C-alpha cells in the first residue's frame, strides 16, 4: 500500500490520475492539493478536483487549495498562450470542444480550510518516511512547502515530479515542458532540496515510443463493455474522445497520453520503468528560449557544476502493463 | 513628535543586523508606532543568528511584550548569500547582549504575519528591512489577507540617482530577487527606501559626538554597535555607517523626511553583471504603470534629530 499526496493542476490527464488513484486498491490517497496551472485559476482547478472525487464516490479524501500563482512565472503573453492555443482548437473542432476543460460546475462539497502547503508539511511530518508526493502540475506548492519546512526533504518518502523533457521535444519551447516552464524556480527548489525525486519527463508520456501507454478509442470501448455499470467509466467514455482526437491530430500521438497517471504509477510500480541512477538535475532559469529546460548531469564534463544527485529520470515505460493497471483501477470505481 | 498623532500599527520583518537593531529600538520607543510583532529572516546573518539577535534586542529594551517569530531560513528559490555589513554574528561589537530568555512565537513567521494581520482591526504597515522572503511567501500563501496591508515601507533598492555604485544592486533585493519581484507585483502601496537615500544618512564624527551625549545603557550599546558598524563600512566603502533600516522606519513615523518619485521597478533575475539590480522605468517607456514609490532625497538633519530623540530617555 503506497500513501500518496497528489498535487494537481486539473488538466484532463490530472482528472484521470485522480480517478485512477481513487480506484487503485494499492494506493491510499492521503489528499489532493491543487495548484494554478494548465486548467486555469486555483478555483477552477480546485472545483474540478472536488467534482472528480464526487464522481469517484470518494469525498472522504481531503482536498486543499494551494498556490494561485507561480514564484516568478513568465511574461503575461506567454502565460496566456495556452488559451490562444485552445482558440485554435476551437476553429478545428467547433462545438465538440465544449467537453474540453469546461468551466467546473459548483462542487457538492468543499476544500478543507487549510492551505496546500500546510497540508503537505503536516502530512509528511506526521508520517516520516511513509508519504510520497506526486506533483503533476507546476511545482509551486511542493517548493513552497520545502521552503517553509526544509525538514520535509528528509521525511518525505519520495517526490515524483511530472515534467521536463530530454530526447522528446518540449511543448512550450523545443527544450521546455509546460509544468517546469510554468514555474522553473519552483522545480529547481524541488530538484535541489535533497529529497529523493523521480522525474517523469515527456519522453515516457508524450512520445510514440511509449504508444502502448496511450488511451485510444479502442480502450474506451473496452472500458464501456467491461464496466457498463460504472459511472466513472461512463464519464471517461463521454469526456475523453475529444482529448484523444486533439492529441492525435495536433500532437500526432496515437492516443491521449496519461502523463499524470503514469507519474502515480512511478510510485506504485517503479519496475514498469527504465530509470537512471540518481543524478543531479537542474533547470535553466535564464532566457525565454531555454527557460524551464531540464538538464540532467550524466557523462563527464570539463566545467564543474554541483548539486545533489537525488533525481532518477525515467527513460522508458512498459506501456502495456501501465495501461492495463490503469483500466482495471478506473473500472473498479462505481 | 506630537502625542496626538494617530498610532500606526506596524509589523517589522528584519534580519538584525546593527541597523535593523536600531530600527527595532526606534519602533518600540516611538509614541506613534504600535509595534504588533517582529518576524525574522535570513540575510545579514544566518536565520538562527538573526532570530537570536532579535530576541536579545527586544529583551534588552524591555520589549518582551512584542512577539517575535522566526520566518524563512533560506531565500525563496536560491541558496543564502550572507551579507557582510554586520560581521559573522550579525551584531558584532564589544558589548554582547545577554542570551534571551523570552520565548519565540511557536509558529512560522509567515503564518504569524497572517495571524497578526487577520486579528488587526485596521490595515497594518509592514516594514521589511531584510530580504523580502517572508513578505513574498506571505503574499503567495495568503492572498486573501492582502487588503490588511496598509502599505509596505521597505529598505531596498538602488537607482543611481544621487550616488554612484558599480551596479544598481542593493543587498536585500540581491539576496532574494524573486521575493522582491513578487512584492513589487503585488499592487500594494510600496515605498522603497534604497541606497539613494540611505547612503546619505551616515554615522560620522559629528553623529558620534551626539550619540555620546546619550548616557543611558541603551545609548552606550547603540554607540558600541555603531562604532563596529562604522569601522566595517569605512573599510568596505570608504564612508561612515549608513543607517539604512532606521531610515526606513523613520519614514513610517514621518513621511516628510523623504521625497519620492513613482516608477515601475523590475528586478533583473538573469543578468550577469546586473543580477538582482532594481531597474526603474521613470518615464513609463514599458507602459507597465507604476508599481512603487522610490525615495529620491532625504532630509538627513531631521532624520538624525528624530533618531536621537527616540534614543534619549
Tell the residue number behind the cell numbers 531540464, with chain if given: A294
For domain B8-311, say whether CATH 3.90.245.10 is its number.
yes
* Distance between A185 CA and the closest CA of chain B, angstroms: 6
The grid coordinates listed for B277 are 539590480
Please give the sequence-ordered ranges of beta strands (E in DSSP) within chain B, or none if there are none.
Answer: 8-14, 33-40, 68-70, 124-128, 149-155, 190-193, 202-203, 241-242, 258-267, 278-281, 292-298
- The answer to whether B1 faces chain A, any CB pair under 8 Å, is no
Cα separation, B99 vs A249, in Å, equals 69
* Residue B112 and residue B138 in contact, taking contact as beta carbons nearer than 8 Å: no
Q: B263 φ, ψ to 5°? A: -165, 170
The string of DSSP codes covering B111-139 is HHHHHHHHH-SS-EEEEE-S-SHHHHHHH
Q: A146 φ, ψ to 5°? A: -65, -30
Collect all residues from A whose CB is shorter than 8 A from any CB in B. 67-69, 71-72, 115, 117, 140, 143-144, 147-150, 185-186, 188-189, 285-287
* Residue B133 and residue B72 in contact, taking contact as beta carbons nearer than 8 Å: yes
pLDDT tens per residue across span B272-301 = 888 999 999 988 898 899 999 999 999 999
- The answer to whether B108 faces chain A, any CB pair under 8 Å, is yes
Lowest mean pLDDT among A235-244, B142-151, B154-163: B154-163
Selected residue of A144, A146, A153, A293 to mutate for chain B interface (largest B Cβ count, 10 A)? A144
Q: Is the pLDDT of residue B170 over 90?
A: yes
Taking 50 as the pLDDT cut, the residues of chain A under it are none
Q: Could you tell me the pLDDT band of residue B1, with boundaries at 50, 70 and 90?
A: very low
Cα separation, B68 vs B48, in Å, equals 13
* Residue B82 and residue B46 in contact, taking contact as beta carbons nearer than 8 Å: yes
A113 burial (CB, 10 Å; 0-12 / 13-18 / 19+) is exposed
Selected residue of B115, B140, B186 to mutate for chain A interface (largest A Cβ count, 10 A)? B140
Size of interface A-B (CB pairs under 8 A): 45
Query: Which among B74, B181, B269 is the nearest to A147, CB-wise?
Result: B74
The grid coordinates listed for B85 are 555589513
Q: What is the pTM of this model?
A: 0.93
Residues of A in contact with B74 (CB under 8 A): 147, 150
Residues of A in contact with B137 (CB under 8 A): 144, 147-148
The grid coordinates listed for B196 are 539613494
DSSP β-bridge partners for residue A158: A132
pLDDT of residue B235: 86
Domain formed by A2-331, architecture: Alpha-Beta Complex (3.90)
CA angle A99-A224-A49, nearest 5°? 45
Query: Which among A67, A185, A287 is the nearest to B77, CB-wise?
Result: A185
pLDDT of residue B94: 67
Amino acid at each position: 500500500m503506497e500513501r500518496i499526496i497528489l498535487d494537481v493542476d486539473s488538466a484532463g490527464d490530472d482528472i484521470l490520475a485522480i480517478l485512477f488513484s481513487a480506484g487503485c486498491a494499492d494506493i491510499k490517497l492521503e489528499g489532493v492539493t491543487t495548484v494554478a496551472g494548465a486548467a486555469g485559476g486555483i478555483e477552477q482547478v480546485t472545483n474540478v478536483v472536488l467534482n472528480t472525487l464526487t464522481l469517484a464516490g470518494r469525498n472522504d479524501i481531503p482536498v486543499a487549495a494551494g498556490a494561485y500563482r507561480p514564484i516568478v512565472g513568465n511574461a503575461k503573453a506567454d502565460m496566456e498562450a495556452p488559451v490562444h492555443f485552445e482558440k485554435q482548437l476551437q476553429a478545428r473542432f467547433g462545438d465538440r470542444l465544449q467537453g474540453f476543460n469546461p468551466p467546473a460546475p459548483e462542487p457538492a462539497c468543499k476544500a478543507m480550510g487549510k492551505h496546500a502547503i500546510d497540508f503537505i508539511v503536516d502530512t509528511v511530518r506526521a508520517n516520516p518516511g511513509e508519504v510520497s508526493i506526486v506533483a503533476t502540475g507546476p511545482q509551486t506548492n511542493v517548493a513552497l512547502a520545502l521552503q517553509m519546512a526544509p525538514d520535509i526533504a528528509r521525511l518525505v518518502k519520495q517526490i515524483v515530479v511530472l515534467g521536463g523533457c530530454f530526447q522528446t521535444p518540449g511543448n512550450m519551447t523545443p527544450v521546455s515542458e509546460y509544468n517546469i516552464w510554468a514555474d522553473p524556480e519552483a522545480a529547481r527548489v524541488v530538484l535541489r532540496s535533497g529529497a529523493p525525486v523521480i522525474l517523469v519527463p515527456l519522453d515516457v508520456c508524450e512520445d510514440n515510443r511509449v504508444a502502448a501507454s496511450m488511451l485510444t478509442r479502442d480502450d474506451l470501448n473496452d472500458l464501456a463493455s467491461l464496466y457498463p455499470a460504472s459511472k466513472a467509466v461512463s464519464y471517461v467514455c463521454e469526456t475523453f474522445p475529444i482529448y484523444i482526437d486533439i492529441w492525435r491530430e495536433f500532437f500526432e500521438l496515437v492516443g491521449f497520453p496519461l502523463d499524470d497517471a503514469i507519474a502515480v504509477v512511478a510510485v506504485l510500480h517503479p519496475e514498469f520503468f527504465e530509470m537512471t541512477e540518481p543524478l543531479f538535475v537542474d533547470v535553466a532559469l535564464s532566457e525565454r528560449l531555454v527557460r524551464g529546460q531540464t538538464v540532467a548531469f550524466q557523462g563527464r564534463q570539463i566545467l564543474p557544476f554541483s548539486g545533489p544527485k537525488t533525481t532518477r529520470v525515467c527513460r522508458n515505460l512498459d506501456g502495456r502493463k501501465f495501461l492495463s493497471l490503469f483500466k482495471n483501477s478506473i473500472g473498479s470505481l462505481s | 513628535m506630537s502625542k496626538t498623532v494617530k498610532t500606526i500599527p506596524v509589523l517589522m520583518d528584519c534580519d538584525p543586523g546593527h541597523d535593523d537593531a536600531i530600527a527595532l529600538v526606534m519602533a518600540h520607543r516611538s509614541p506613534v508606532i504600535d509595534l504588533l510583532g517582529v518576524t525574522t529572516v535570513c540575510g545579514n546573518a544566518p536565520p538562527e543568528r538573526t532570530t537570536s539577535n532579535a530576541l536579545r534586542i527586544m529583551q534588552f529594551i524591555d520589549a518582551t511584550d512584542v512577539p517575535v517569530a522566526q520566518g524563512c531560513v533560506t531565500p525563496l528559490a536560491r541558496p543564502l548569500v550572507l551579507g557582510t555589513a554586520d560581521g559573522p554574528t550579525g551584531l558584532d561589537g564589544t558589548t554582547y547582549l545577554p542570551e534571551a530568555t523570552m520565548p519565540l512565537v511557536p509558529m512560522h513567521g509567515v503564518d504569524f504575519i497572517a495571524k497578526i494581520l487577520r486579528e488587526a482591526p485596521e490595515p497594518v504597515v509592514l516594514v521589511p528591512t531584510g530580504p523580502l522572503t517572508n513578505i513574498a511567501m506571505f503574499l503567495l500563501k495568503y492572498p486573501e489577507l492582502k487588503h490588511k496591508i496598509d502599505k509596505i515601507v521597505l529598505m531596498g533598492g538602488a537607482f543611481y540617482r544621487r550616488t554612484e555604485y558599480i551596479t544598481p544592486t542593493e543587498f536585500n533585493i540581491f539576496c532574494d530577487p524573486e521575493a522582491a519581484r513578487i512584492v513589487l507585483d503585488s499592487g500594494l502601496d510600496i515605498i522603497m527606501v534604497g541606497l539613494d537615500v540611505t547612503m546619505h544618512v551616515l554615522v560620522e564624527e559629528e553623529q558620534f559626538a551626539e550619540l555620546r551625549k546619550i548616557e543611558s545603557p541603551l545609548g552606550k550599546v547603540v554607540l558600541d554597535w555603531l562604532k563596529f558598524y562604522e569601522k566595517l563600512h569605512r573599510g568596505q566603502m570608504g564612508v561612515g555607517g549608513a543607517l539604512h533600516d532606521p531610515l526606513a522606519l523613520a519614514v513610517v513615523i514621518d513621511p516628510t523626511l523623504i521625497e519620492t518619485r513613482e516608477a515601475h521597478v523590475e528586478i533583473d533575475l538573469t543578468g550577469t553583471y546586473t543580477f538582482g539590480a532594481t531597474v526603474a522605468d521613470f518615464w513609463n517607456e514599458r507602459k507597465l504603470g507604476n508599481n512603487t514609490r522610490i525615495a529620491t532625497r532625504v532630509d538627513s538633519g531631521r532624520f538624525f534629530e528624530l533618531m536621537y530623540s527616540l534614543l534619549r530617555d
